[in-house]
Structure 1
Amino acid sequence: MSIKDDVKYVKTELSGDEKVLESAFKLESLYKKYKIVVWGAVGAALLFFVVTTGWSAVRQSKLEAANQALLTLQNNPNDTEALSVLKENNPALHEVYIFSQAAKTKDIKRLAGVSDSKNDIIADMSRYTVGAIEKKPVDSKLYTELVYLEEAYIEIKAGDMEKAKSKLALIDGRSSLSMLAKLLEHSTLKGK
C-alpha cells in the first residue's frame, strides 16, 4: 500500500504544480493583455507622488519665506522688500499684517484698503476699526454687540434714552459685554 500511497502523493503534487503553472500562464496572458493599463496606472501613481512632493516642497518654501519676511517686518516695519516678499508668498498673512499696523497707527486710508479683502474676517475687522476711529458705528458680523453698545452710547449722549435701551436690549445676557450694557442701562435711568 505504501507504493500506491506514494503514487497518489506524486499525482496530487503534480496536479498542484500543474495548477500553479496554469495560473502563472493565465497571469502572464492577463499581463500581456493589460500591460499598457498596468504600466499606465504605475506611471500615474508615480507622477502623482512626484507632483505632490514637489508641490509640498514649494509650499513649504513659500511659508518659510513669508515667516522670515514677517520676522523682518517685526524688527523693521519700514522694510518694503520684506513686505513685498510677504505679499508674494502669503497674501493672507500680508493682509493681517497690514491690518494690524494700520490699526496700531490708526491709518484710516490703509484700513479702508484692507476693508475690501477677500478674507471676510479681515474686511469686517477693518470696517469696524475705521468706524471706531471715526466714531461712527458700522454694521459688523464679528462685533455686533459692541456696535449695539456704541450705538446705545451715542443715543445716550444725544438724549434719546428709549433708543438706547432698545439697542442695549439686543445684547445677550450671556455676553461678556452684558455688564457694560447693564451699566449703560443704569445711566439711562439716571438720565431721566
Structure 2
Amino acid sequence: MSIKNNFNYIKNEISSDGQLLENTLKLEILYKKYKYIIWTILVVVIFGGISYQLYSYYNEKKIQKYSALYSELLQDTSNTSLQAELKTGNPKLYDLFTLQQALKDGNISKFMEIQDSKSAIISSISSYYIGSFERDISVLKNVNKYTLGDLSKLQQAYILINENKINDAKVILGEISKDSNISELASLLSHYMITKQ
C-alpha cells in the first residue's frame, strides 16, 4: 500500500514538473516570438519615467528661480533688468507684479499694459479698474463674470445712476444674484436710486 502511495506521489510530482516544464517552454517560445516588442515597451517605459522625472526637476528649478526673482523684484521695484528677465521668463508672474504695482500706484497705464494678460484673473481685475477709473461701461461689461462680474455690474449701475440713466441701472442691478456677496450693496444702491429720481 505504501509503495502504491509512493508511486502515485512520484507520478504526481513528475506530472506537475512536466506541466511546469511545458509552461516554461511555452513562455520561452512566446518570449522569442515577441522579444523585440517586449524590449521596446520596456525601454519606452524606462525612458518615459526618466524623462518625466527630468521634466519635473526642470520645472521645479524654473519655479524656484522665478519665485526668487519675483521676491527680489518686490524688494527693488525699480530694477528694470529684473523686470525684463521676469517678463521674458514668466509672463504671468510679471503680470502679477505689474498688477501689484498698478494697484499700489493707481497708475492706469500699468492696468492697460496687463489688460490682455494670459491670466484671466489678472485680465479681469485690470479691466475692472480701467473701466472704473475711466467710467467706461463697455470695458466693465467685458469683465469676466466668474471673477468680478457682480462687482462690475455694481460699478456699471453706479455710473449709470450718475448719468441719470436710472432704468438702465435697475436692469443691471437686477442681474446681480440674490446669493451674491454683493447683493446687499446692490440693494443699497437700489435705495440710493430712489433718492436720485
Q: TM-score w.r.t. structure 1 length?
A: 0.86
- For residues 165 and 40 of structure 2, the distance between their equivalents in structure 1, rounded to whole angstroms, comes to 76
Report the CA distance shift for 1:8/1:178 in structure 2 as closer, same or farther (over 3 A). Answer: closer
Match of 1:79 in 2: 79
Report the CA distance shift for 1:153/1:21 in structure 2 as closer, same or farther (over 3 A). Answer: closer
**How large is the Cα RMSD of the aligned pairs?**
2.2
- For residues 120 and 10 of structure 2, the distance between their equivalents in structure 1, rounded to whole angstroms, comes to 79
Match of 1:47 in 2: 47
- Alignment partner for residue 154 of structure 1, among 159, 162, 166? 159
Report the CA distance shift for 1:15/1:131 in structure 2 as closer, same or farther (over 3 A). Answer: same
Match of 1:135 in 2: 135
Paired residue secondary structure (1:34): helix
Contact 2:73 2:82 (8 Å CA) reproduced: yes
Map 1:164-183 to 2 at 5 A: 164-183=169-188
Q: TM-score w.r.t. structure 2 length?
A: 0.84
- Larger mean CA deviation between 156-165 and 135-144 belongs to 156-165
Identical residues among aligned pairs (%) = 32
Match of 1:184 in 2: 189
Report the CA distance shift for 1:154/1:35 in structure 2 as closer, same or farther (over 3 A). Answer: closer
Counterpart residue identity of residue 172, structure 1:
S
Return the offset for 1:94.
2.0
The one-character-per-residue Cα deviations of 1:119-161 (angstroms, maximum 9, x if unpaired) are 2222222111111122323212233333333333333333344
Number of residue pairs matched?
Answer: 192
For structure 2, the 5+ residue unaligned runs are none
Report the CA distance shift for 1:79/1:2 in structure 2 as closer, same or farther (over 3 A). Answer: same
Paired residue secondary structure (1:174): coil
Return the offset for 1:48.
0.5
- Larger mean CA deviation between 134-143 and 54-63 belongs to 134-143
For structure 1, the 5+ residue unaligned runs are none
- Larger mean CA deviation between 128-137 and 48-57 belongs to 128-137
Report the CA distance shift for 1:156/1:3 in structure 2 as closer, same or farther (over 3 A). Answer: closer
Map 1:17-96 to 2 at 5 A: 17-96=17-96
The one-character-per-residue Cα deviations of 1:87-131 (angstroms, maximum 9, x if unpaired) are 344332222222221232222222212111222222222111111
- For residues 25 and 48 of structure 2, the distance between their equivalents in structure 1, rounded to whole angstroms, comes to 32
- For residues 191 and 158 of structure 1, the distance between their equivalents in structure 2, rounded to whole angstroms, comes to 11
Contact 1:152 1:164 (8 Å CA) reproduced: yes
- For residues 25 and 61 of structure 1, the distance between their equivalents in structure 2, rounded to whole angstroms, comes to 50
Report the CA distance shift for 1:2/1:102 in structure 2 as closer, same or farther (over 3 A). Answer: same
Report the CA distance shift for 1:185/1:25 in structure 2 as closer, same or farther (over 3 A). Answer: closer
